[in-house]
Structure 1
Amino acid sequence: MLPVGLKAQDDKPLRLGVAGISHAHLNEVISRIGRGDFVIVGVAERDKDLLQNNRMRKYLDDSVFFEDLDEMLDKAKPEAVIVYEPIFDHLRVVEACAPRGIHVMVEKPLAVNMNHARKIADLARKYNILVLTNYETTWYDTNRELFRRVKENNEIGNITRIEVYDGHQGPVEIGCGKKFTDWLTHPKLNGGGAVIDFGCYGANLVTWLLGGEKPLRVYGVLNRQKPDLYPEVDDDATIILEYPQLTVQIMASWNWPMSRKDMHVYGTKGYIYQDTPRNMRVYSGKKLQQLTAPRLKAPYNDSFYYLKAAVRKQITVKPTDLSSLENNLIVVEILDAAIKSARQGKPVKMK
């Protein structure tokens, strides 16, 4: 039997379209094909070589592949579209989907700049569609457990400082494909380098932890430590956010000696280190504990479960949620301010 209030059609697999296949995160959808919660009804890719030669061909019928996005949307009729295009093209996909009433989930961040972000938001609101932003860290057990202990249990008192560390050795160094790095390292198509690619994680998590509060000022330092590999964009970024009650430091880099997505939150009574997706350290009551976070439950443990539940209105996406349009508009505003600050060499006031 279905849960009370759930219609029969709501339990059917979500009709999913894929816009673009150049993003390395495409593996997220490939690894879930056949799971049962969604069915891919259409794939659109403008690059003819990618369209003919991609990993999805192994799992899908030739009839679902299209060169033209509009043709795919009209013929395949997806309920939602997931986007693996360059960040610059997020707006183009939403412009196509919104008038058709098709929901959209993009890979982080929402947009390359606030001009694009505002246009996306206007379209989402005009046509009453969801535009969600997917981050790997949204589905980390430790981040949700950290939130519970900090915000709900008040285990470490008032937050006084947050430090967020994100990045890896570099997209070229870790073997990302050329089709991906061609736009990931392009100032227009990606909007920047490490500041966009990894600075967005910290901005997203901090905005969530602070209930949607904007910083007063943003200070950005962008460096090029490997100009031979990344001549057009930064490969190392530090973003400092000034709030009335605390300071945040976001360290985003393509120059870490390892891959990392971890966060330190300090309070008046203790601290919590989110070390990995599962493991964390909590110092509270003058005691230090090393903990394994409890597993998240569906649909809050997986981007595709979450998308289906949101589209079918089984859950409500709150403005403060990690994937929400409201949160991610602030994220882009922070990134915009950090880039402007780095150019000007001084802090930028948030509007």
Structure 2
Amino acid sequence: MNFLPVSAQEKPLRIGVAGLTHTHVHWILGRDDIGDIEIVGIAEPNRELAERYAKQHGYSMDLVYNSLEEMIIATQPEAVTAFGTIHEHLEVVETSAPKGIHVMVEKPLAVSLAHAKKMKTLAEENSIHLLTNYETTWYPTNHKAKELLKAGSIGDLRKVTVRDGHRGPAKLGINSEFLDWLLDPDANGGGAIMDFGCYGANLLTWLKNGEKPNTVTAVTQQLQAKNNPKVDDEATLILTYNDSQAIIEASWNWPIGRKDMEIYGITGALYADNRNELRIRIAEGYDGFSEEKMNLAEREYPLNDPFSLLATVVKGQHQLAPYDLSSLENNMVVMEILDAARESAKKGKTINLKK
């Protein structure tokens, strides 16, 4: 199905922003106005933070309310985007869902599977969409890689390695409003294992069409105790499936930020090196190969932007495919994997997932 940005006659989706402490909020505040969404209100009790961002992005402080409940009553949004702590995601859904207001949260879906189950129940009981936004959802390379894998370009899948990380929040100079909760195990659910481990769990659940791994084994370390005193900053997860294995590397210790994926089949391998650059290698002999490099254009509307996707899903113009990267069903599996990974790291043993 082909889409075009909304016409002038069609009303934009009315969106309320729940919180400003997650710096991914700049994604929506700094977004070009293409007419498909309208920010009608912002819920943020920290006036200084709200004023700082108002100066940066040019919105009126008249849009800012002290609470989500107050903002909803005053502005009547059709959807809410959550940009607070991960722990607050449940509260956003508890407030929004009974009013029939759709929700999009930043990754991961929740701090725990227990929170996620409550959110899922609320979403289903109140017939709302509950989406989760990941940066890597919008990478053309990931979608091309899945397309090539499905077409049999490298044979049957045997192994996937997903790497996501950077040098660590404290070293990046992140503002205190974000850093304070990012390093809090209650507010964030963990350190690198949650912040970056969720990407791999999300992509693998999508590549495996919703199949859960049989086992999850995780090892975490704290290599920057001074910077990350309460949480892990290095995590490696191993997932086993009936016919394949996956490794998720999540780090706050890498000198260079990265988000990439390697997919190995029987006859070749796919390398999604970054957002736009993809390589496909076909095996020749023992260690030889032929290689094709692709530089991919951005995806087409509305599959190039989280808020465009939200608008078209809410308006019934787009239906998510089963276990879509943004979907609730995918992200419930993600939470099972992350819960098992934290348990594995804590107990020092492999965890079997219930099928």
Report which stretch shifted further, 24-33 or 54-63.
54-63
Q: Which residue of 2 aligns with 1:221?
A: 219
Distance 1:10 1:165, change over 3 A: farther
Equivalence map 1:192-231=2 (5 Å)? 192-231=190-229
Gaps (5+ residues) in structure 2?
285-289
Aligned residue number for residue 280 of structure 2: 282
Q: Deviations over 1:294-324 (max 9, x none)?
A: 4311111111111111010101123310000
Report SS of the residue matched to 2:186: coil
Residues 10 and 312 in structure 1, CA contact (< 8 A), matched pair in contact too: no
Give, in whole Å, the separation in 2 of the partners of 1:209 and 1:174: 31
Matches within 5 A, 1:33-72: 33-55=32-54, 58-72=57-71
Equivalence for 2:269: 271
For residue 170 of structure 2, give the secondary structure of its aligned residue in structure 1.
coil
Residue 11 of structure 2 contacts residue 36 of structure 2 at CA under 8 Å; is this kept in 1?
A: yes
- d(CA) in 2 for partners of 1:115, 1:262: 29
Return the offset for 1:10: 8.5
Shift of 1:51: 3.3
1:274 to 1:101, Cα distance in 2 relative to 1, 3 A: same
Q: Partner residue of 1:320? A: 323
Change (3 A) 1:7 1:107: closer
Counterpart contact for 1:81–1:102, Cα < 8 Å: yes
Q: Report the equivalent of 1:15.
A: 14
Partner Cα distance (1:103, 1:26) in 2: 17
Equivalences for residues 327-342 of structure 1 within 5 A: 327-342=330-345
After superposing the two structures, state which structure 1 stretch, 276-285 or 67-76, moved more.
276-285
Distance 1:163 1:7 in 2: 38
Mark the runs of 5 or more structure 1 residues left unpaired by the alignment.
none
Preserved CA contact (<8 Å) 1:30 1:56: no
In 2, Cα distance between equivalents of 1:47 and 1:338: 34
What's the CA shift string for 1:119-162, capped at 9, x where partnerless?
000000000000000000000010010011001x1100111000
Q: Which residue of 2 aligns with 1:137?
A: 136
What amino acid is the match of 1:340? Answer: E
SS of the aligned residue for 2:230 comes to coil
Determine whether 1:128 maps to 2:120. no
Q: Which residue of 2 aligns with 1:173?
A: 171
Rounded to whole Å, the distance in 2 between the matches of 1:283 and 1:97 is 47
2-structure distance, mates of 1:110, 1:56:
30
Please report how far the alpha carbon of residue 276 of structure 1 lies from its aligned counterpart in structure 2 after TM superposition: 1.0
Q: CA deviation at 1:57?
A: 6.9
Moved more, 314-323 or 113-122: 314-323
User: Which letter does structure 2 place at the counterpart of 1:219?
Assistant: T
Q: Residue 299 of structure 2 aligns to which amino acid in structure 1? A: L
Counterpart residue number, 1:28 = 27
Q: Which residue of 1 aligns with 2:251?
A: 253
Q: Assess, with a 3 A threshold, how the Cα gap between structure 1 residues 346 and 16 changes in structure 2: closer, same or farther.
A: same
Q: Cα distance, 1:108 vs. partner?
A: 0.2
Cα 1:33–1:41 shift into 2, 3 Å: farther
Identity of aligned residues (%): 45
Q: Which amino acid is 2:50 matched to? A: L
Deviation at 1:347, TM superposition (A): 0.3
CA distance in 1, matches of 2:215, 2:56: 47
Q: CA RMSD in A?
A: 2.0
> Scaled by the length of structure 1, what TM-score is found?
0.95
Q: Does 1:346 align with 2:345?
A: no
The one-letter amino acid paired with 2:94 is: E
Match of residue 310 from structure 1: 313
CA distance 1:59–1:220, change in 2 (3 Å): same
1:348 and 1:91 mapped to 2: Cα distance? 26
**CA-CA distance at 1:9 after TM superposition:** 9.8
